Amino acid sequence: MIKIKRIMILLLVFSLLFSSVSFGNNPISVYVRNEKLILDVDPVLVSGRTLVPLRAIFESFGAEVTWNQDTKTAKGELEGTIIELQIDNEIARVNGKPVKLDVPAIIVKGRTMVPVRFISESLGATVNWNQYYKNVLIDSHEHFKVTRIIDGDTFVVDFNGTMETVRLIGIDVPESVHPDPSKNVLDTEEVVRFMETMSKYGLVGLEFDKQDRDQYGRLLAYAWIGSEMVNKNLLELGYAKVMTFPPNSKYLVDFMETQKIAFENKEGYWGSGDFTYDDFEYVGEFVIDKSKNLIGPIGNRETAVLKGSIKSDKYHKLEYTHTGQINDDNLIYFESLDHAILNGYKPCGYCFK
Measured CA to CA, the distance from residue 6 to residue 314 in angstroms comes to: 41
Residues 6+ apart with CB under 8 A from 180: none
User: Which is catalytic among the residues 35, 121, 175, 207?
Assistant: 175
Sheet order of strands, 64-68 included: 64-68, 73-78, 81-86, 91-94, 97-100
Active site residue 164: no
User: Which is catalytic among the residues 6, 93, 193, 218?
Assistant: 218
**The length of the chain, given as a count of residues:** 353
What is the amino acid identity at position 76?
A: G
255-259 LR contacts (CB < 8 Å, sep 24+): 255/170, 255/171, 255/231, 256/282, 256/285, 256/338, 256/342, 258/232, 259/235
Measured CA to CA, the distance from residue 199 to residue 245 in angstroms comes to: 27
User: Which is catalytic among the residues 167, 190, 281, 335?
Assistant: 167
- DSSP three-state, residue 83: strand
Cross-strand partners of 235: none
CB 73 within 8 A of CB 105: no
Active site residue 35: no
Active site residue 218: yes
Residues marked active site are found at 167, 175, 218
